[in-house]
Amino acid sequence: MTQTAERGIGDLRAAVDGPVFTPGDDGYDDARRVWNAEIDRRPGVVVRCASVDDVRAALAFAVDTGLEVSVRGGAHNASGSAVVDDGLVIDLSLLNQVSVDPEARRARVGGGALLGDLDAATQQHGLAVPAGMISHTGVGGLTLGGGMGWLTRIGGMSIDNLVSVQVVTADGRVLRAAEDENPDLFWAVRGGGGNFGVVTEFEFTLYAVGPMVQYGLLFWGLDQATDVLKLAREVIPTLSREFNVVIAGLSAPPAPFVPEQFHFQPGYALVVIGFGSQEGHAELFEQLRTALPPLFEFATPMPYVALQQTLDEPNAWGHYVYEKNCYLEELTDEAIAVFAEQFARKQSPLSVNLFYRLDQAYSEVPDDATAFAGGRSPRYATFIVGLGLTAEQLPAEREWVKSFWTALQPHTIGAGYVNALGEDLPDDRVRAVYGDKYDRLARIKTEYDPANVFHRNANIKPA
C-alpha cells in the first residue's frame, strides 16, 4: 500500500461507520480470511461496510489512492477473488439483511447476505429463491454469475428471478437497475459477474417451497459407476420439474445412516429430491432401487432449510480447494467411460464430482435474456472439486481435477460456468466463455467502469 494511502487511513476510518482493518489491527487476520484455506493474501485495508454510503466512501478512497479493489460477499469462491494483496477489500458481510413480502412473493436481500440468511427468512413464509446448495455461500457472488441448485428445474437460476438490483458504480453513483431502469446494466449483472459495480441489494421473486421436502440417497460402489451413470441418463431427463436428482461421485460419509463397512468408500450416488408428494418421491425412489440395487440407501422427509445445509459440513471453511467445471449436452457412453475411469483416481475422501441437470425452467429462459455465460439448451453441469484438510493434500487433488477435466474436454459444450472459472483468466478464455455476448458486455463495461476498477473476476475489459 502506498504511503499516500497509509496516511489517509485515518480519514477513511472517519468517513465510514463500519470497522476498518489494516495489518497489525486486532481482527485483521479474520477479516482477510476466505473459505478456501489455500488463499493467504494480505490486503492493505479491509472496510467492513455498514451501509451503502460506506461502500461509496471505501470505493472513492481506493480509486483516489490507486488501490486495487476486491469485493467480499460470502468469500466462497475457490479462487479467493474476494481478497487482494496490498489492495482494498470492500467487505459487505454486515449488509446481510433480508426482508420478505409474502403477499407479493418478493424478497430484498443485502449484498452481503448468505444463502442461509435468505433461506431462513423466506422459509418463514413457505417461500424460497432458486439458489445454490451450500448455505454459507454468499448470495451476491452466486447470483451475479448465474446461481444454480436444487430449485433450478422449478424456477431457473437465481438471475432468472431477479427483479432489480442496487449497484454502486466505480464513480460512486448508486443506481437501481431493472427492466424499466438502466436495463443494459440489469442485463449485464445477470451473469456478467462483479464486473460492473458493487451490488448492495438484490430483489428476488419467490416460489412456494416446503417447508418439508422429500430427500433420498442411493449409493453404489466404484465398480458400478458405469451402470449408475447410464441409469441416471435414462431416468433424469424424463422427470417432471417437481423432482431434482443430483449425481454425486463421493466417498460415503461416516453418517449414522451409512453402514460402517462403507464409511469413506468411494462410489457414485443419486441424491433424489422431491418437491411434490411423498408418494411420488417414493415411486421414483423405488424405480431407481429396483433398476439397480444400491449398497445402501436412505430416504426421509426433511425441512427445505436442512436440505440447503446438507453439503455445509463437507464444504466447511478451512478446507484446501481446487475446482473446475464443464457442461455436457449428453452423458454419452464415451463420456461415462471418462467419469468412471477418472473419478476413481482421487485420493482425498473429501473430493467430489457433482452433476446438476439443467433443463425445464432453466431452458425456458431465452438465451439472450441475460448475460449468463452458458447456453440454455438442456444439459448437465459437472463440477470436479478437489478438497483436502491439509495443504499437503491439495497438490495431488489439483492434479486429479486438472487431468479429469482435460480428459472430459472432447465431450463438453461451451466454456464452463463463470462462477467456477476463477480470476486472472486470459482475455481469449473470457471471450470464449461469453461468446456473442462479450462485445455487448464490453460496451456496457465502458459506460459503467471505463477504468476497469472491478477486474478481480472473469474480467470483461472496457471496449
Provide the phi-psi class of 319: left if phi over 0, else alpha when psi is between -120 and 50, else beta.
beta
Overall pTM > 0.85: yes
Q: Which residue, among 434, 331, 453, 343, has the nearest Cα to 381 in the 3D structure?
A: 331
Query: In percent, how much of the chain has pLDDT > 70?
Result: 98
pLDDT tens digits, 338-396:
999 999 999 999 999 999 999 999 999 999 999 998 899 999 999 999 999 999 999 99
Using alpha carbons only, what angle is made at residue 251 by residues 329 and 418, rounded to the nearest 5 degrees?
40
Cα gap 179→381, rounded to integer Å: 28
User: Lowest-pLDDT range, 182-186, 187-191, 429-433?
Assistant: 429-433
Burial readout 46-61 (b: 16 or more C-beta within 10 A, e: otherwise)? bbbbeebebbbbbbeb
Give the pairing type, strands 20-21 and 106-110.
unpaired
Asked if residues 51 and 91 have their Cβ atoms less than 8 Å apart, the reply is no
User: What confidence tens digit (pLDDT) does each residue in 326-336 have?
Assistant: 999 999 999 99
Pick the CATH number of 212-420 from 3.30.43.10, 3.50.50.60, 3.40.50.2000, 3.40.462.20: 3.40.462.20
Q: How many CB atoms lie within 10 A of CB 321?
A: 25
Cell of 428: 481469449
Residue with cell 459495480: 197
- How far is Cα 285 from Cα 301, in angstroms, rounded to an integer? 13
pLDDT score at 5: 60
pLDDT at 191 over 70: yes
Cα–Cα distance between 129 and 93 in angstroms, integer?
20
Query: For residue 165, how many other CB atoms are within 10 A of its CB?
Result: 26
Give the mean model confidence (pLDDT) for residues 146-164.
Answer: 97
Label residue 3 by pLDDT band (50, 70, 90).
Answer: low
The DSSP code for 433 is: H
Show the beta-strand stretches assigned E in 185-312. Answer: 198-205, 207-208, 212-221, 243-251, 266-274, 296-303
Question: What distance in Å separates the CA atoms of residue 25 and residue 20, rounded to the nearest whole number?
Answer: 9
pLDDT of amino acid 49: 98
Q: How far from chain centre, in Å, is Cα 454?
A: 19
pLDDT level of residue 414 (50, 70, 90 thresholds): confident
Q: Specify whether domain 3-91 bears CATH 3.40.50.1820.
A: no
Distance CA 273, CA 306 (A): 12
pLDDT given at position 1: 61
Percent of the chain with pLDDT over 90: 94
Closest to 378 in 3D by CA, of 360, 359, 362 = 359
Residue whose entry in the numeric block shows the C-alpha cell 481506493: 62
Q: Where are the domains of the chain?
A: 3-91, 98-209, 212-420
Do the domains at 3-91 and 98-209 have one common CATH topology?
Answer: no
Cα(457)–Cα(195) distance, rounded to whole angstroms?
7
pLDDT beyond 60 at 2? no
Instruction: Give the per-residue pLDDT at 386.
Output: 97
Residue 58 in contact with residue 12, Cβ under 8 Å?
yes
DSSP string covering 333-375: HHHHHHHHHHHTT--STT-EEEEEEE-GGGGGS-GGGS--SS-
CATH 3.30.465.10 for the 98-209 domain, yes or no: yes
Region of residue 146 (phi > 0: left; psi between -120 and 50: alpha; otherwise: beta): left
Nearest to 47 by CA among 61, 34, 64: 61
The total number of residues shown for the chain amounts to 463
What value does the mean pLDDT take over residues 208-230?
A: 97
Write out pLDDT tens, residues 23-75.
999 999 999 999 999 999 999 999 999 999 999 999 999 999 999 999 999 99
Give me 289's grid cell.
432401487
Read off the pLDDT of residues 121-146 as tens digits, 9 standing for 90 and up.
Answer: 999 999 999 999 999 999 999 999 99
